[in-house]
Structure 1
Amino acid sequence: MDFRLGEDQRALRKGVRELLGRLFDREALRAAVDSPAVDRGLWRELGAAGFFALRLPEEEGGVGLGLPEAVLVFEEAGRVLLPGPLVATHLAAGSVPGAAEGDVVVTDVGEGLVPWLDEADVVLGSAGGAVPMRSVDPLTPLHRVPGVPAAVSTTGGWEAVLLTAAEQVGSAEASTEKAVSHAREREQFGQAIGGFQAVKHLCAGMLVRTELARAAVRAASLTVDPVEIAGAKLLADEAATANARDCLQVHGGMGFTWEADVHLHLKRAWVRAELLLPAARAEETVAAGL
């Protein structure tokens, strides 16, 4: 079986990357950090572009594509750290009026953590008694619902886990690109630091983690097998968090500053890793399947 992207899939990825580059550039990212709230204008723009209706049938006003294409789109969202309950709203399109068009923001009670609760128009699952908690990621406000049992998200089930893993892959790719770009430009002892073997090894390891996770996520999008999705989530979480850490190391002291964007990828990766199917439960799923 040929797992390479087709021409239409490559065009979709290119188009989404250009769209997000226009709608959510670095200036918009920093503005969102300073004032974390769902940008309703951006949400409607995403809806108009078919982001949320990507998998709805064309006769229902959707784009008519499948889960593999959705994975490509969510990889691009992860690359730019697009904020908001994207997965829940995407999966609610077709069942929640206004979600497909981006007129409604939908969030979900998954592992007892509810992102963007105050901003959501619709909450899927019971959020009674939810209390605000301090989120490590300034772009993902969180509430905790006490007493919610650990379970796969009620919205989209395993598909929600897979799309979250796709976001992690996009973030891992962005961290790799940032590390390589800095290694080419930053000079020490009269040469670019990318010429030093230790830095080369860091960047190579980041690329390997990214591509391994990407392959697992894309393969799972074809099988939609829970065990394969759990394995893909494990690899994607590791790629996103480890790559962000290595990117910080490549950047040195400046990477730890608030002005740098590297820390935002690490913080988002930590949050995504816990929102849906944390590592311990993913490992149990894979072990049971083996």
Structure 2
Amino acid sequence: MRFQLSDDQRALRSGVREVLDRRFGREALRAAVDAPGRLDRELWRALGDAGLFALRLPEAEGGAGLGLPEAVLAFEEAGRALLPGPLVATHLAAGTVPGASTGETVVTAVDGELVEWLDAADVVRGDATGSAPIRSLDPLTPLHRLPAGTDSGAPDGNGTQIPVATLLTAAEQLGTAARVTELAVQHARTREQFGRPIGAFQAVKHLCADLLTRTETARVAVYAAALTADPADIAAARLLADEAAVRGARDCLQVHGGMGFTWEADVHLHLKRAWVRAQRGGGNTESEELLAAHLVT
């Protein structure tokens, strides 16, 4: 199995990163944090123009005609940038919901008892009747909860693409894990204590090494699952990516020390997003159950 990216895949990843750096840099990120719940429609259309939502649509239908590996690379970059909005739901709706592929229509989906970005969405896949807003840990992911005991089903509304939704969420988590690894290493190199960079101290070295190990382990699992599209592989990738993102962000906070907990730092935003993503369908409990059933059979 080959994990070396092709030239076209490298170009795709680089292109997505350039678009996000230009359209959703740190100033835009902070502006979004200061205006929680407001989805930037201009940015959403720009994502549509860049082909994020139509990436896997056949060329005959106006898409790029690419596959899961390319979608994983794009969503990894989205996770790295903390890009807000119901990205996975809109991507899955491309080709079936008019305007989803171009970014003209914002699509969200009922995911168990939760719905992300309900007030900002034009189309909701699944029954969100009776849902009420709840306080979200992540200021960039507004949430609604369905009435107790209600479960309106699959993330894409019909259950046929649940593994894809799980894999793309894992890719976003991988992007977060990679970014917090970068932030931790950068800080360890530049922050000095006792006349030395803190990265010279063994405890900090170990934290950074663990960050890298978890991230690269998750990367191999996510990329492999994108190639096989096997539900068990996707479940394993999701477990590893959730762990890499959540534990990675926590360790990154540890490397930053007290300043990492301040509102001005971005590290806490990565941790909060990782926590919220980990609650989506296909998360720890569901993935563990799927893997257990696969091992038994």
Q: Is the CA contact 2:253–2:260 (under 8 Å) kept in the aligned structure 1?
A: yes
* Secondary structure of the structure 1 residue equivalent to 2:105: coil
Give 1:188's match in structure 2, choosing from 180, 193, 203: 193
C-alpha deviation, 1:247, in angstroms: 0.3
C-alpha deviation, 1:176, in angstroms: 0.3
C-alpha deviation, 1:153, in angstroms: 2.2
Measure, in 2, the Cα distance between the counterparts of 1:287 and 1:149.
23
Gaps of 5+ in 2: none
RMSD over equivalenced CA pairs, Å? 1.1
- Aligned-partner residue type, residue 254 of structure 2: Q
Q: Is the CA contact 1:248–1:256 (under 8 Å) kept in the aligned structure 2?
A: yes
C-alpha deviation, 1:154, in angstroms: 3.2
C-alpha deviation, 1:167, in angstroms: 0.1
Q: Is the CA contact 2:85–2:117 (under 8 Å) kept in the aligned structure 1?
A: yes
Q: Is the CA contact 1:55–1:64 (under 8 Å) kept in the aligned structure 2?
A: yes
Q: Is the CA contact 1:24–1:82 (under 8 Å) kept in the aligned structure 2?
A: yes
Q: 1:165-180, aligned counterparts within 5 Å?
A: 165-180=170-185
C-alpha deviation, 1:151, in angstroms: 5.3
Deviation digits for residues 200-257 of structure 1 (CA, Å, limit 9, x no counterpart): 1100100010011111111111111111111111100000000000000000000000
Q: 1:1-290, aligned counterparts within 5 Å?
A: 1-36=1-36, 37-146=38-147, 147-149=149-151, 152-155=154-157, 156-290=161-295
* Secondary structure of the structure 1 residue equivalent to 2:139: coil
Measure, in 2, the Cα distance between the counterparts of 1:148 and 1:87.
22
Q: Is the CA contact 2:218–2:240 (under 8 Å) kept in the aligned structure 1?
A: yes
How much identity, in percent, do the aligned residues show? 69
Q: Is the CA contact 1:111–1:150 (under 8 Å) kept in the aligned structure 2?
A: yes
* Secondary structure of the structure 2 residue equivalent to 1:143: strand
Measure, in 2, the Cα distance between the counterparts of 1:43 and 1:113.
22
Measure, in 1, the Cα distance between the counterparts of 2:212 and 2:154.
29
* Secondary structure of the structure 1 residue equivalent to 2:111: coil
- Aligned-partner residue type, residue 171 of structure 1: T
Deviation digits for residues 84-119 of structure 1 (CA, Å, limit 9, x no counterpart): 000000110000000001000000001211000000
Q: Is the CA contact 1:153–1:161 (under 8 Å) kept in the aligned structure 2?
A: no
Instruction: Count residues with an aligned counterpart.
Output: 290
Q: TM-score, normalised by structure 2?
A: 0.96
Q: TM-score, normalised by structure 1?
A: 0.98
Q: Is the CA contact 2:80–2:172 (under 8 Å) kept in the aligned structure 1?
A: yes
Measure, in 1, the Cα distance between the counterparts of 2:153 and 2:215.
27
Q: Is the CA contact 1:70–1:163 (under 8 Å) kept in the aligned structure 2?
A: yes
C-alpha deviation, 1:150, in angstroms: 8.3
Going from structure 1 to structure 2, the CA distance change for 1:118 and 1:280 (only over 3 Å counts) comes to same
Measure, in 2, the Cα distance between the counterparts of 1:258 and 1:85.
24
Q: Is the CA contact 1:151–1:277 (under 8 Å) kept in the aligned structure 2?
A: no
Q: Is the CA contact 2:80–2:175 (under 8 Å) kept in the aligned structure 1?
A: yes
Measure, in 2, the Cα distance between the counterparts of 1:182 and 1:165.
26
